[in-house]
């Protein structure tokens, strides 16, 4: 299941998120979205977990978890729509 993670601190890197989510279940990929001009984090990203039950557990456990001085918001990612 692909998870949408928002309110990510500028200091948090992809490896930090991987470690956090890996404590709950198997993580297949992590991507923090960066600004295309500056490369700086835009404050959100995606974590893909191989087991749906682990992903649901991650949503419960990590929503409002303080990481890097900010509280994460974790939810199931929506499918991309055509256009944008």
pLDDT tens track for 49-72: 999 999 999 999 999 999 999 999
Instruction: Take residue 51 and report the two structure tokens written for it.
Output: 């087991």
The list of the chain residues with pLDDT below 50 reads: none
Q: What is the pTM of this model?
A: 0.90
Of the candidates 21, 18, 22, the one whose C-alpha atom is nearest the C-alpha of residue 30 is 18
Q: Are 45 and 17 in contact (CB under 8 A)?
A: yes
Task: Please state, in angstroms and rounded to a whole number, the distance separating the CA atoms of residues 63 and 83.
Answer: 29
Domains delineated in the chain: 2-76 (3.30.70.330)
């Amino acid at each position: 299941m692909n998870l949408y993670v928002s309110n990510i601190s500028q200091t948090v890197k992809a490896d930090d998120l991987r470690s956090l989510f890996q404590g709950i279940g198997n993580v297949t990929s992590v991507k923090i979205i960066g600004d295309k001009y500056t490369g700086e984090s835009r404050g959100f990203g995606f974590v893909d977990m191989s087991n749906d039950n682990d992903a649901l557990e991650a949503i419960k456990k990590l929503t409002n978890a303080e990481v890097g001085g900010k509280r994460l918001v974790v939810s199931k990612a929506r499918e991309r729509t055509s256009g944008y």
